[in-house]
Amino acid sequence: MAWPATTRYGLPVAPGNLGLVQDFLNTITEGTIAPPDLLATLNDAQEWADQVIEQWISVDDLGWAKTLPRLTENDRKALVAFRDQLFEGLFGHSHSETAGGPARKNPTYHPVMTVSAGGIELWPGGEGWKYFETALLLICHQGQLEGVLRRMKSCKSDTCDVVFYDRSNNNSGVWHDVKLCGNRANVRAHRARSAVN
Ligand SMILES: [Zn+2]
């Protein structure tokens, strides 16, 4: 198995559970290749969910992965809204496809903390797909504490929001694909300069 959404872009995947966050965000349709939005219909979303959960279970080292109930149309709509919100929360702007769309009003999430002889542990809480959303937030939070979340970026191109994991030494990458998006931006900048001169 592989992360189903991210591998559509031929991208290297983020390590461990962060790969789940990256894959969720990459279900959007973006970029030159413009593959379908994997959450656009209930059938597509269920197919993605089956694959992503199988992959999540295989890489999970936090003990959070579990099988989830079949998606309902309401779950699917909530996931789409959550995807927009998470994208904006991580990257500071809405993604180009859904900018200006209806946003949910600050839903809250409830992680669970336990203390035992094994130590203090944090778990996702919530029923059904709310559990999944809470898990994604906790994974991001953990990545934030470990300093690796800042390596997860959305492509700098105006027309591409593909989410990539920057493995460069100084974390300086800005394009999901330098040839595809970096070159197009250079050509546009060159044309703009030529038009002015
Ligand atoms: Zn790109």
Ligand 1 centroid from CA 185, angstroms? 10
Residues 9, 26: contact at Cβ < 8 Å?
yes
Residues 111, 120: contact at Cβ < 8 Å?
no
Q: What is the pLDDT of residue 187?
A: 75
Eight-class DSSP state of 112:
E
Ligand 1 centroid from CA 157, angstroms? 6
The domain spans of the chain are: 6-196
CATH topology of domain 6-196: Jann2411-like fold (1.10.3300)
Q: What is the pLDDT of residue 102?
A: 56
Ligand 1 centroid from CA 72, angstroms? 31
Angstrom distance (rounded) from CA 62 to CA 87: 23
User: What is the full per-residue pLDDT of the chain (197 aa) written as tens digits?
Assistant: 799 999 999 888 999 999 999 999 999 987 667 789 999 999 999 999 999 999 999 999 999 999 999 999 999 999 999 999 999 999 998 876 554 455 566 788 999 999 999 899 999 999 999 999 999 999 999 999 999 999 999 999 888 899 999 999 999 999 999 888 988 777 777 777 777 66
Ligand 1 centroid from CA 110, angstroms? 34
Q: Which of 105, 104, 97, 124 is nearest to 25 (CA)?
A: 97
**φ/ψ bin of 34: left (φ > 0), alpha (ψ from -120 to 50), beta (otherwise):** left
Decide the pairing of beta strands 152-154 and 112-116: unpaired
Ligand 1 centroid from CA 92, angstroms? 17
Ligand 1 centroid from CA 22, angstroms? 14
Ligand 1 centroid from CA 31, angstroms? 6
Q: What is the pLDDT of residue 186?
A: 73
Ligand 1 centroid from CA 129, angstroms? 29
Residues 110, 125: contact at Cβ < 8 Å?
yes
Q: What is the pLDDT of residue 147?
A: 95
